[in-house]
Chain A
Amino acid sequence: MSVNTPAGPVDVASLDIDAIDLSDRDFWAEPPAVRHAVFDKLRAERPFAWFAEPTMEGMEPGPGYWAVTRLADLDAISSQPAVFCSGQGAVSIQDIPADLSEFYGSMISMDDPRHARIRRIVAKTFTPRMLEQVVDSVVGIVDDVLAEARAKAEAGDGSLDVVADIAAPIPLRIICDMMGVPEEDRLLVLNASNTILSGGDPELTDEADPLTALLEAGMAMAELMGRLAAERIENPTDDLTTALVNSEVDGEKLTHQEIASFFILLLVAGNETTRTAIAQGLLALSENPEQRAAWMADPSMDKTAVEEIVRVVSPVTWMRRTATQDGEVNGHAFKEGDKFLLFYNAANRDPEAFENPHALDLSRSPNNHVGFGGHGPHFCLGAHLARRELAVTFRRLFEICPDLEITGEPARLRSSFVNGLKRLPARLTGDR
């Protein structure tokens, strides 16, 4: 569908529902207001909308998919993992080709019992109690990054890029610290995770075709993990990599491939999502200055504010499920093999679930959003860590960079999968 950038609010009534195509890559380059209007229309009029699959070079397009946009429907699907499985692919519309599944066939695209086995091994590292131990290091990393951003801006004309200088390095350093990735390998991790989640955005995959770029990024990460794992078997430390290479379930260790694909999952999921929440969150705050001021003045709002940022930003746009049998969900009939894309961005603005859903309300409570996924076994493993990172980041930002001002339009990632920003220009006014 082609929608020109509107001058004002988008008139939902004038949208032609039959012209909507979520598989059209140009749709994902539309301004957010247009995309939200389209999802409002689908949610209200065609909550299970059928789309042909996008074409990707080197891959046969599959039969198509249902786009799920209501929160109640999304949660019903998410919470029945036996009926709606992840094992045929959760992060791609196409089934995963065999040569990519070695690197990307992680537990996010697995079903029980294999999923549960691996999830339990790693879950113990991400519990609230375990994370209490890394809080100090989170604060230290955030303070370092903000001090570096401030120094860099002040050494120049005061300008900085929120994404490159603040939002990207914070989660990257935290997850690399937890995994024990050495300093000199961190740029590789950043670049590879950019490629993996770029959705084929040409700026981030250079000239290579998307499949080759994905394969190369996966190989680079797997090589790094292989090296780290070998080192940790020799010389155990207290990092997550050591825990992974040594952990056993029912007397069985994780295989080398399981460790590598989990490593990729953690690095990618731990980086891009939090980066997106920070950058898009700062943008949302700059668009709502009165709320920014209220939150800045009141640390007791941290908890609800972080949830609201995750809701309105919805860093991950969708996950896929595939029906294992014929059936019906909330009155909608489906066949075995049908694919469903769960649109978290749409469900998080469902007026049935949220009052005034398009408004940022940092004190919203309750806030039963699905920004970390719906109910079910695949609920975000890193949710506790992400909440902690976001609360610390925004609080320290208010203290160290209270004079941060967004100065221009963001460069948005053209991706259906992650609601990312590539750049967000800002400056420090010096007024603090």
Chain B
Amino acid sequence: MSRVQVDRERCVGSGVCESLAPEVFEIDDEGVLQVHREEPAADDLDGVRDAVQSCPARALALAE
């Protein structure tokens, strides 16, 4: 099972991940990244990989 990992020190809440995989990522009202599904559904994996790749702060990883 693939698992999303967030480096909280690096995350700046840019929301790029949310724009690519909204089912999985959301920046909450406090500007903090919430991961709705730490083990994303198979359908969401492409978006999550895209988000990991695109995160400007390089704060995301997907352990596969």
* Genuine A/B complex: yes
Interface size of B as a range: 20 to 34
Question: Is residue A120 contacting chain B, with contact meaning CB distance below 8 A?
Answer: yes
Residue of A nearest to B54 (CB): A368
Contact of A116 among B12, B26, B30, B55 (CB under 8 A): B12
Question: Is residue B15 contacting chain A, with contact meaning CB distance below 8 A?
Answer: yes
**Which residues of chain B from 7 to 28 have a CB within 8 Å of any chain A CB?**
10, 12-16, 18-19, 22, 26-28
Q: Are B10 and A377 in contact (CB under 8 A)?
A: yes
Question: Is residue B3 contacting chain A, with contact meaning CB distance below 8 A?
Answer: no
A373-390 contact mask (Cβ, 8 Å, vs B): 1 or 0: 101110101011000000
Question: Is residue A119 contacting chain B, with contact meaning CB distance below 8 A?
Answer: yes
Contact of A375 among B13, B15, B56 (CB under 8 A): B56
**Within the assembled complex, what's the spacing in Å between the Cα atoms of A375 and B13?**
14
* Main DSSP-derived SS at the B contact region: loop
**Least CB distance, B57 to chain A, in whole angstroms:** 6
* Main DSSP-derived SS at the A contact region: loop
A126-B15 CB under 8 A given contacts A120-B31, A121-B31: yes
**Within the assembled complex, what's the spacing in Å between the Cα atoms of A207 and B26?**
49
A123-B27 CB under 8 A given contacts A128-B19, A129-B18, A384-B19: yes
Question: Is residue B29 contacting chain A, with contact meaning CB distance below 8 A?
Answer: yes
Question: Is residue A79 contacting chain B, with contact meaning CB distance below 8 A?
Answer: yes
**Within the assembled complex, what's the spacing in Å between the Cα atoms of A372 and B56?**
10
Q: Are A379 and B30 in contact (CB under 8 A)?
A: no
**Within the assembled complex, what's the spacing in Å between the Cα atoms of A79 and B10?**
11
Interface size of A as a range: 20 to 34
Q: Are A127 and B57 in contact (CB under 8 A)?
A: no
Q: Which B residues are in CB contact (< 8 Å) with A123?
A: 12-15, 27, 31
Q: Which B residues are in CB contact (< 8 Å) with A335?
A: none
**Within the assembled complex, what's the spacing in Å between the Cα atoms of A123 and B59?**
15
**Within the assembled complex, what's the spacing in Å between the Cα atoms of A335 and B41?**
47
Q: Which B residues are in CB contact (< 8 Å) with A121?
A: 31
**Least CB distance, B16 to chain A, in whole angstroms:** 7
Contact of B13 among A120, A376, A383 (CB under 8 A): A120
Q: Are B12 and A128 in contact (CB under 8 A)?
A: no
Question: Is residue B58 contacting chain A, with contact meaning CB distance below 8 A?
Answer: yes
A124-B56 CB under 8 A given contacts A116-B12, A383-B14, A384-B15: no
**Which residues of chain A from 129 to 154 have a CB within 8 Å of any chain B CB?**
129
**Within the assembled complex, what's the spacing in Å between the Cα atoms of A375 and B9?**
15
Q: Are B31 and A377 in contact (CB under 8 A)?
A: no
**Least CB distance, A378 to chain B, in whole angstroms:** 8
**Within the assembled complex, what's the spacing in Å between the Cα atoms of A121 and B29?**
10
Q: Are A124 and B31 in contact (CB under 8 A)?
A: yes
B interface vs A, CB < 8 Å? Answer: 10, 12-16, 18-19, 22, 26-32, 55-58
Can you name 17 A-B pairs with beta carbons within 8 Å?
A79-B58, A120-B12, A120-B31, A121-B31, A123-B13, A123-B14, A124-B28, A124-B30, A127-B31, A129-B15, A372-B56, A373-B56, A376-B57, A379-B14, A379-B16, A381-B14, A384-B15
In the A-B complex, the 4 residue pairs with the closest CB atoms: A379-B56, A124-B31, A123-B13, A127-B15
